[in-house]
Amino acid sequence: MKTNIILATFCGLISTALTAAPAAPSEPPTNLSSVTITVSSQPRQTFAGLGASCFGGGDYMQLTPERRAELNDLVWRQARFNTMRIWLHLKKYAPAPDQRRFKDAFPDTDATLVRDAQAAGVKHLVLGPSAIPGYLMDRLPRKGQDGNGQSVEPYPKSDQFDEHAAIIADFIRDLREQDHIAVEATGIQNEPNDPNDCVFTPEDVVRSVKLLRAALDSRGLQQVKIIAPESVGCNAPAVAQADALKADEAAWKALGGIALHDYDGGATERWTDTPAGAGKDCWMTEFCLGGPEEPGDFFRASAEAAAFLSDMNHRVNYWIHFIGYLSNDPNDNGTRLIAFYNGSVAGNAWIKVFEPYCYLQQLGQTFDAGAVFRQSISSLENEMTWARDSKPRLVAAAARNPDGSWSIGISDFTSDAFPQHFWYPGKPAQSFAVTVKVEELAKAGELRFEVRRSGPQIKNSRQEPATMSNGQLTITINPLELVTLRSTSP
């Protein structure tokens, strides 16, 4: 089928590629250093799955049914994504007080896009409210420590939080009643510390969570979880918002999960320790490296893998790339895993599959939904945290899958050629001999692991298998590579 031709071009996944001779490393090992990754025996979070946002149903519906099926096959089946983030544009849905325009905000084409994804494997839907209507906002001098330093920022009007909650709850009700689509969770506001939309103080976040819980319950939507705050990264404003939620008993009870974006630092132990201990999910609902992108950008792909593995090593349950597939935009393809062209573009030229897709596909095929992660500690950079101002050279995470197999992912985020003004410049190129020690397998004898590798010259390529002896194996990884290992028996 055509999908296999596309994958042969971009990710090397057709059967002939799987049986071909192992590909050579992307570059000869240089400046080789020894690192030990120790995987503790204490089970931590259960992985719910990978995901992506999808919207733009109008462009999607201009594709032939066969091409739409290929998009869904690539993301939801072959990469094993199971979570979709859909969007509520509040200005379209509630352009004026007491108005609700459901089909303006969620046309039938968007409903078809969601249903097609569900048919292909999507199990979890989460709503991202954005774009607050002007009648709900004030422009006020900066309040407290939650803003980005501007002298004037937009804030929600103090007497409009009930209406803001009602808009979100009404949309979720309309989505269920008119399109028979049920969301599992909803945010309160996309990036509520970003002055480009609307800034919420920590107190605002607490108030919004409590009012939204009441609004959902009153509409018979008790099963819908609330996740918050979905700030731009694990920075000071986000920590202040999360701490305020934890400190308010009613808000904490109303909250289904703590949520974050990865742009200004990924999850940390401090961020996830309290919600994990309280039985609440940890969500990373958005990551990408926006701007122009063309296939072959392994810097973006390596950053994607490193951010994912860091978050998995810090108790994140759900991990969502910003956009799965959307029509081509040469100025912003970095937000997408796959870009497509509308109209009658012939052959395979209608689609671009970017390198971050291939790395995430490899990770999705390594870590199953339901995998239980353990904490991995590195002799090089300890917890390997994807932080705002410090990106680890080597990131690893390990988990046991529901079938009893073990999975390990390792990303080398180093290079001598990071582009100028790159989002997340890493450290100079360095190859590593990585020894992985899994405490729980110390008496397991020999275990065989399937090895896959992605890098500047190979994409999700099957390598020679590796053998772990009594919980220990050593493997080499080179700059910008992702190496994954999965045991072939429990």
Range among 36-50, 343-357, 416-430 rated most confident: 36-50
What is the distance between the alpha carbons of residues 333 and 307, in angstroms, rounded to a whole number? 19
Q: Has residue 127 got a pLDDT over 80?
A: yes
For 57-86, the pLDDT digits (tens) are 999 999 999 999 999 999 999 999 999 999
Res 142: pLDDT: 60
Q: Which one is the CATH code of 48-286: 3.20.20.80, 2.50.20.10, 2.60.40.10, 1.10.287.1260?
A: 3.20.20.80
Segment 15-18 long-range contacts (CB within 8 Å, at least 24 positions apart)? 17/461, 17/462, 18/462
Which one-letter amino acid corresponds to residue 218?
S
Q: Has residue 490 got a pLDDT over 80?
A: no
Residue 414: burial class (beta carbons within 10 Å; 0-12, 13-18, 19+): buried
Contact 161, 207 (CB under 8 A): yes
Determine the longest span between alpha carbons in the chain, in angstroms: 68
Contact 146, 199 (CB under 8 A): yes
Res 3: pLDDT: 44
What is the distance between the alpha carbons of residues 189 and 130, in angstroms, rounded to a whole number? 6
469 Cβ contact list (under 8 Å, min separation 6): 445, 446
Q: Has residue 446 got a pLDDT over 60?
A: yes
Contact 435, 473 (CB under 8 A): yes
Q: Has residue 29 got a pLDDT over 90?
A: no
Res 315: pLDDT: 96
Res 344: pLDDT: 75
* DSSP element (H, E) containing 126: strand 124-130
Region 414-440: mean pLDDT is 94
pTM, two decimals, is: 0.92
For 133-179, the pLDDT digits (tens) are 999 998 776 655 444 544 567 889 999 999 999 999 999 999 999 99
Phi, psi of 182 (to 5 degrees): -110, 125
Q: Has residue 20 got a pLDDT over 60?
A: no
Confidence of residue 478 (pLDDT cuts 50, 70, 90): very high
* CATH code of the region 28-44+371-487: 2.60.40.1180
Q: Could you tell me the sign of the dihedral formed by the alpha carbons of 387, 388, 392, 397, in that order?
A: positive
* DSSP element (H, E) containing 270: helix 269-277
What is the distance between the alpha carbons of residues 83 and 52, in angstroms, rounded to a whole number? 7
Res 237: pLDDT: 87
Collapse the DSSP code of 52 into the 3-class scheme (helix H, G, I; strand E, B; otherwise coil) and give the result: strand
Two tokens, residue 22: 């192992």
Nearest to 485 by CA among 373, 408, 400, 426: 408
CB neighbours of residue 17 within 10 Å: 17
Helices (H), 121-264: 161-179, 202-218, 236-247, 249-254
Average pLDDT along the chain: 91
Region 451-467: mean pLDDT is 95
Query: What's the Rg (C-alpha) of the chain?
Result: 22
Chain Cα centroid distance, residue 299: 17
Helices (H), 73-187: 90-93, 102-105, 108-120, 161-179
Collapse the DSSP code of 16 into the 3-class scheme (helix H, G, I; strand E, B; otherwise coil) and give the result: helix
Q: Could you tell me the residue ranges of all domains in the chain?
A: 28-44+371-487, 48-286
